[in-house]
Amino acid sequence: MARIEVQGLHKIYGKHVAVQGLDLEIAAGELLVLLGPSGCGKTTTLNLIAGLDAPSSGAIMFDGQDVTGISAYRRNVAMVFQSALLYPHLTALRNIETSLRHRGLDRAARRHRIAEVARMLGIEILLNKLPSELSGGERQLVATAKAIVREPEAFLLDEPLSALDAALRLSLRAELVKLQKRLGVTTVFVTHDQVEAMTMGDRIAVMSNGRLEQVGTPDEIYNAPVTLFVAGFIGTPPMNLIAGEIVAGQFRQGRFSIPVTAPPGPATLGVRPQDVRVVAPGGEGALQVEVFAMEHLGRESVLIAESGDGSKMRVLVPANFRARMGDHLGLLPDSAQCLVFGADGRRVIVERGSVSRYANR
């Protein structure tokens, strides 16, 4: 159960910078999710932590010891790859056994340990099957067994659930978290699925274009995004982002204005779909929109509306809300819940409200 530190990590492939100056600390026993769109460098980061790739510069420490030049195997990490990669020509049992190859354990001890792990995961009956005879979920369990049987310093999971169907993903998600908590192994979980990240992570590190955008608990990431990117990436339906400018303590876009605490200049206003009220059209200070579509979710609905400049706004409305395409409406964001981002894409921190409101929820 190592504490992992990543210091000033760079990885450059030819001209392409995959990871740029990454600093990260993962506490012992923590489940950290690396989240970002594809190509953001999260898998590269995971491979660097695993020791499968050598960084261009920077260091990786396990428990304060520099392991940057040490091979993947000697770091004693266990990795589960995308779509639960297994050796296709070996049975589940032999696949799991390869993890113990160099342990100096005799056959009986190895089999005993595998049996123990298999019982824990409930995969005893799968042990003599080939990977091609297993379903996606079963392969996932076998890959997990292969990972935990070696009692690693850290689990590194590279989008292990991405190839599974939605229902299975949901149940395995909870099982993985439960297992991780029970074993208390430091875990790094890479995903591009923000729901997965929010539900599984003790903390989430959001990456984009090889850079770390923000690290924090799911709560912090959701309620206090530090950058425009994080704000737009986290949350379903996504946060509404309105481009405009700040003049004399007011955020303005056309005739729409709302009081904010921020220095003057071009800015982007961010507001979650649940923090917007629908009002009659023509109202003072409201954003004038036209209904574009309605999405019914059952318990509530998402109203998608188009504002004058063609950008879409999403608003959560009660399930019984009725609107027809082309109807004119006014939207009034709750000013206490609005986040203001400066021209550099970073949040203007001076305003209060959202953090304190959600912090004690």
In the set 15, 64, 69, 88, which binds other proteins (CB under 8 A)? 88
The CA-CA-CA angle for residues 77, 83, 88, to 5°, reads 85
Q: Residue 38 or residue 71: which is nearer to other proteins going by CB?
A: 71
Asked, as a colleague might, if the bond just before 237 is cis with ω within 30 of 0, I would say yes
Min dist CB 303 to other proteins, Å, is: 45
In the set 2, 67, 79, 224, which binds other proteins (CB under 8 A)? 79
Q: Does 38 bind other proteins (CB under 8 A)?
A: no
Q: Give the amino acid at 67.
A: V
Scanning 46-54, 247-255, 301-309, 340-348 for contacts with other proteins by CB under 8 A, the matching segment is: 46-54
Residue with tokens 């876009």: 253
Q: Does 323 bind other proteins (CB under 8 A)?
A: no
Give the whole-angstrom CA distance, residue 147 versus residue 73: 12
Q: Does 307 bind other proteins (CB under 8 A)?
A: no
Min dist CB 88 to other proteins, Å, is: 6
Min dist CB 32 to other proteins, Å, is: 19
Give the whole-angstrom CA distance, residue 276 versus residue 98: 55
In the set 16, 87, 125, 328, which binds other proteins (CB under 8 A)? 87
Scanning 94-102, 161-169, 177-185, 342-350 for contacts with other proteins by CB under 8 A, the matching segment is: 94-102
Q: Does 356 bind other proteins (CB under 8 A)?
A: no
Structure tokens at 114: 């595998």
Q: Please choose, from the candidates 289, 279, 52, 58, the residue with its C-alpha nearest in 3D space to the C-alpha of residue 156.
A: 52
> Which residues, in sequence order, are bridge partners of residue 307?
289
Q: Residue 132 or residue 320: which is nearer to other proteins going by CB?
A: 132
In the set 78, 179, 188, 246, which binds other proteins (CB under 8 A)? 78
CB 343 within 8 A of CB 310: no
Q: Are strands 287-296 and 276-279 parallel, antiparallel or unpaired?
A: unpaired
Which residues, other chains included, contact 237 with Cβ-Cβ below 8 Å and sequence gap of 6+? 273, 302, 314, 316
Q: Does 77 bind other proteins (CB under 8 A)?
A: yes
- Residue 168's alpha-carbon distances to 160, 171, 176, 179, in angstroms, are 12, 5, 12, 16
Q: Residue 86 or residue 269: which is nearer to other proteins going by CB?
A: 86
Give the whole-angstrom CA distance, residue 50 versus residue 154: 9
H helical segments located in 51-106? 92-98
Footprint on residues 98-137 left by other proteins (CB under 8 A)? 98-99, 101-102
Q: Are strands 211-216 and 65-66 parallel, antiparallel or unpaired?
A: unpaired
Footprint on residues 261-280 left by other proteins (CB under 8 A)? none
Scanning 26-34, 76-84, 213-221, 269-277 for contacts with other proteins by CB under 8 A, the matching segment is: 76-84
In the set 81, 292, 321, 358, which binds other proteins (CB under 8 A)? 81
Q: Residue 102 or residue 357: which is nearer to other proteins going by CB?
A: 102
Min dist CB 200 to other proteins, Å, is: 22
> What is the size of the binding site for other proteins (CB under 8 A)?
19
